[in-house]
Chain A
């Protein structure tokens, strides 16, 4: 479980996040949704420590991440996996080396065990034949899957995904969402996803947190998401012509 408690964040007197209180539960798909510029990426960066909060605390299973020393954070970070929007695979290495990289850095495994583990991770995301391929030679969807494989290499307790299906066609996007859900359930991970993909929210959102202008405007799950009476949330959901038409028909 990850808990964001009274998070405030500002840049040069400009407030970006106000009083954010969210609990991200274990074994569930926890989503942060909102328009571009709403503060969801800043919140994720604060959660993983790529950015510092102005005030407030982030707890990883009761361990206060914001109060930790650099050394303590380094240890905790080995329990984190992150899937970046653009994949963030190391472009100078073939996929196999990308997956083995965190193992080479932190595990005491033998070379044979590392290869075995990397092969398992690649197989798990359906890329067992792509071990020798460089990231640039992969499609966007394959890069995302490879990024997931790298993120799970060290058996993380917490998985963060920044817009995992952005830039992908709807079918591939669904596959990525399904894969993240499968991995979350299979390994009992606390998964936090930044997204503004409505299909992903409706299909997988166990714990949805809607952020607007740096505030949590609505919290719920996929069952009550479409029936919410929150005006801002409804404006966000039905901002596309397609969804407006579907709503009108209903």
Chain B
């Protein structure tokens, strides 16, 4: 019963969040600020994680592929597939759920406990749309770019590891990267990312918006935002993968 009540409140918040902004001029300003906060500020962490993960994937693949009958370029191929299909869209989004989700939840939660949301409502402004919509649009724009950059830096990391530790030759690695490449996989990854971005922002905003109490409640909401976003991402990842690639 509690789940249905919470889900109903989530849908209601979603409905109000998608309302028309009070001032388009102000919305554009908010959107640019949010793209900088959500997108640009996450670029560093995404690149660092991706480089290291790409390198580790190459080392592990090299360690596991000892059979001389398996061509060496398989390492490049495997790393590319792992990065595009799973690592960049899912794992990076799980990390972003921690970084951005907790930030959104605590920011909105603080606005709730300090009555800033009430102040917006009193003015006749749709507070949900005013606060959440710019974050949502900014995430839907920024996340696909972050994920594409993650794929690229992950591959660079893998290439660097392959060459530095002589796990596989540069030409074999690049050949593996090109082997049986379907551009559809990029579309699949970007589509998943957009769904995950939507989940991270809306779930985190829901917990922040419905905070009741003080600083402790804001902290609890922030934790819940990350936990529920992560679970929702994993669940939707399974459903989307089965629907799109499961045959």
Check if A104 is an interface residue, CB within 8 A of chain B: yes
**Chain B residue, CB-CB nearest to A84:** B115
Contact B122 A48 (CB under 8 A): yes
Identify which of A9-17, A74-82, A170-178, A237-245 touches chain B: A74-82
**Chain A residue, CB-CB nearest to B110:** A91
Given A85-B115, A86-B115, A88-B116, are A80 and B122 neighbors across the interface (CB < 8 Å)? yes
Bound together, the chains give a CA A181 to CA B118 distance in angstroms of 24
Bound together, the chains give a CA A88 to CA B123 distance in angstroms of 12
Bound together, the chains give a CA A157 to CA B116 distance in angstroms of 21
Contact A105 B122 (CB under 8 A): no
Contact of B114 among A88, A102, A160 (CB under 8 A): A88
- A222 CB, nearest partner CB in chain B, Å: 28
Contact of A88 among B23, B25, B115 (CB under 8 A): B115
Contact of A102 among B115, B118, B121, B123 (CB under 8 A): B123
Check if B247 is an interface residue, CB within 8 A of chain A: no
Bound together, the chains give a CA A91 to CA B110 distance in angstroms of 10
Contact A91 B114 (CB under 8 A): yes
Contact B115 A78 (CB under 8 A): no
- A26 CB, nearest partner CB in chain B, Å: 19
- A41 CB, nearest partner CB in chain B, Å: 11
With a CB–CB cut-off of 8 A, which chain B residues contact A86? Answer: 114-115
**Chain A residue, CB-CB nearest to B117:** A88
**B residues in contact (CB < 8 Å) with A:** 22-23, 25-26, 110, 114-116, 118-119, 121-125
Q: List 6 A-B contacts (CB under 8 A).
A: A80-B123, A88-B114, A104-B26, A106-B22, A106-B123, A106-B124
In the A-B complex, the 3 residue pairs with the smallest Cβ-Cβ separation, listed nearest first, are A77-B124, A88-B115, A88-B119
